[in-house]
Chains A and B, each alone.
Chain A
Amino acid sequence: MSAAGRNVVVALVVGCAGVGVGAWIVKASMPRPVVPPVESAEGDADAQRLLGKEVDQLKRELVRFKLEKLSDRAAAAKTAEAVSASETPAVPAPRTPEERAARAKESAERWKHQLDVTFEGQHRDGDWALDAERKAQAAVSAVGPGVTLRSATCAETMCRIVINNQDAAQQQDLARALADKEPFASGSAFDQEGLTTIVYVTRAGQTLPHLDQ
């Protein structure tokens, strides 16, 4: 093996060690559970008594955990209030309906771009893709007249399905009509361009890429 190759191997090993050190830091920073002292049990009565003590201890732990969680939430809410009061956000919150609509449109366009980029960067998982495309075709056909499938293309973990709608009212109902059908049920993002609906569908067990802020 060349010197450069050895160095790459060493870097990888040390990288793994870095992950381990990080995990150790996280673990060390977490509160340790209080473990009740273990007593020697002799006979059924002792075992019963020990079991009862352990159950009591667990109940106390649960209450403590719930109280800690509530306390964490209150602290987080206070922090959020303090931050919003003291800091000016990088992008000011929209004030008017027009600003809100513009922000929503801009977010939708950025998300669609991310979905397209991710989809186009994937290779095709033949068996799954073919099965998902057939199911998409069947689901769209079942919606009824006026709704036609223009294309259904699946890759590795997502599909892009383009549907033509005859009118706007029908287009509004499309998501509801498809939401519980395969492959749409596992998660579908909808985008509209005129009377064309583009649906990005995620493979079961996967999620769609979310919008980067």
Chain B
Amino acid sequence: MFKSQKFLIVGVAAALLAGIQSQASAITATSFDWETPGSVCMPSDGKTSEWTWGPNFGVNRNCSSCTGSANLVCPLSTLFTGGGSGGSGTFGFLEVDVYDRSSTANVSCTLFLINLDGSNVFTQTQTSSGNSPNVQLLSFNVNVSEGSYANATVQCSVPAATSSGVSHVANFITSASTP
């Protein structure tokens, strides 16, 4: 058998295996989703009397005398086991469901992945656009190994109510996968 024919056979076999392997991995990877209600959020800038929490639609800033934006901090820490405790998965995606009813400002959320000593490991920010009575999805493409951090926290800036309505932080959906 010629040398070039041997190369051909090896190449064909490797390419076939690689092709099938890449598709088969789509079957074996396990993905987990967790939902966390917006009601876990707490005021982080002292404006404690400006918020209303509910069993549905999370937390909203429903006060007529409020002005400007106010901040919430929303711990998602119970969902992850990284940062030295041996997490082997990957935090793939975060989706924050918000209602932006303000005609003057947007809802903005920042994901913080935090180390054991409290220092920041990773941040990413997404912001709503315009204003709408309907829910808007803020999508974070995270792709960070769970071994790299200890907990996850989201901070959201929510505008005051306007004639267009009241803004909310309703829900968090996190998606992680294990190898």
Q: Does A58 contact B (CB under 8 A)?
A: no
CB distance from A161 to the nearest CB of B (A): 13
CB distance from A175 to the nearest CB of B (A): 4
Residues on A close to B: CB < 8 A?
Answer: 3-4, 7-8, 10-12, 14-23, 25-26, 29, 73, 76, 89, 91-94, 99-105, 107-108, 111, 172, 174-176, 178-180, 184-190, 192, 207-208, 210-213
Give the secondary structure class of B's interface.
Answer: mixed
Whether A108 pairs with B115 at a CB distance below 8 angstroms is yes
Whether B108 pairs with A190 at a CB distance below 8 angstroms is no
Whether A91 pairs with B19 at a CB distance below 8 angstroms is no
Q: Please, how many angstroms separate the alpha-carbon atoms of A187 and B93 in the complex?
A: 12
Among B8, B84, B123, B147, contact of A101 (Cβ-Cβ < 8 Å): B84
Q: Does B39 contact A (CB under 8 A)?
A: no
Mark each residue of chain B from 114 to 139: 1 if its CB lies under 8 Å from any CB of chain A, else 0: 01111111111111000000000000
Whether B123 pairs with A184 at a CB distance below 8 angstroms is yes
CB distance from B125 to the nearest CB of A (A): 4
Whether B112 pairs with A179 at a CB distance below 8 angstroms is yes
Please give, as numbers and ranges, the residues of chain A lying within 8 Å of B52 by CB-CB distance: none
Please give, as numbers and ranges, the residues of chain B lying within 8 Å of A92 by CB-CB distance: 86
Chain B minimum-CB-distance residue to A27: B23
Whether A180 pairs with B20 at a CB distance below 8 angstroms is no
Whether A7 pairs with B18 at a CB distance below 8 angstroms is no
6 contacts between A and B (CB under 8 A): A11-B11, A26-B23, A26-B26, A94-B84, A100-B83, A104-B84
Whether A22 pairs with B23 at a CB distance below 8 angstroms is yes
Among A4, A73, A176, A189, contact of B32 (Cβ-Cβ < 8 Å): A73
Q: Does B148 contact A (CB under 8 A)?
A: yes
Please give, as numbers and ranges, the residues of chain A lying within 8 Å of B117 by CB-CB distance: 101
Q: Which of B23, B26, B30, B115 is most buried by chain A, counting CB atoms within 10 A of its CB?
A: B23
Whether B8 pairs with A211 at a CB distance below 8 angstroms is no
CB distance from A172 to the nearest CB of B (A): 7
* New contact pairs (16) apart from A19-B19, A104-B150, CB-CB < 8 Å: A15-B12, A22-B19, A22-B21, A22-B24, A29-B27, A100-B84, A100-B116, A103-B86, A107-B145, A107-B148, A174-B120, A179-B125, A188-B124, A190-B119, A207-B143, A213-B88
Please give, as numbers and ranges, the residues of chain B lying within 8 Å of A101 by CB-CB distance: 84, 116-117
Whether B179 pairs with A213 at a CB distance below 8 angstroms is yes
Q: Does B102 contact A (CB under 8 A)?
A: no
Q: Please, how many angstroms separate the alpha-carbon atoms of A7 and B1 in the complex?
A: 14
Whether B143 pairs with A175 at a CB distance below 8 angstroms is no
Q: Does B141 contact A (CB under 8 A)?
A: yes
Please give, as numbers and ranges, the residues of chain B lying within 8 Å of A208 by CB-CB distance: 122, 143-144
CB distance from B122 to the nearest CB of A (A): 5
Among B7, B14, B112, B123, contact of A7 (Cβ-Cβ < 8 Å): B7
CB distance from B46 to the nearest CB of A (A): 16
Known: A102-B84, A107-B83. A4 touches B19 (CB 8 A): no
Whether B19 pairs with A190 at a CB distance below 8 angstroms is no
Mark each residue of chain B from 75 to 102: 1 if its CB lies under 8 Å from any CB of chain A, else 0: 0000000111110101000000000000
Among B4, B27, B108, B124, contact of A186 (Cβ-Cβ < 8 Å): B124
Please give, as numbers and ranges, the residues of chain B lying within 8 Å of A4 by CB-CB distance: 4, 7
Whether A111 pairs with B145 at a CB distance below 8 angstroms is yes
Q: Please, how many angstroms separate the alpha-carbon atoms of A29 and B27 in the complex?
A: 9
Q: Please, how many angstroms separate the alpha-carbon atoms of A111 and B82 in the complex?
A: 13
Please give, as numbers and ranges, the residues of chain A lying within 8 Å of B142 by CB-CB distance: 187, 207
Q: Which 9 pairs, one residue from A and one from B, show the smallest C-beta to C-beta distance?
A: A18-B19, A22-B23, A15-B15, A11-B11, A104-B84, A211-B145, A175-B120, A103-B84, A207-B143
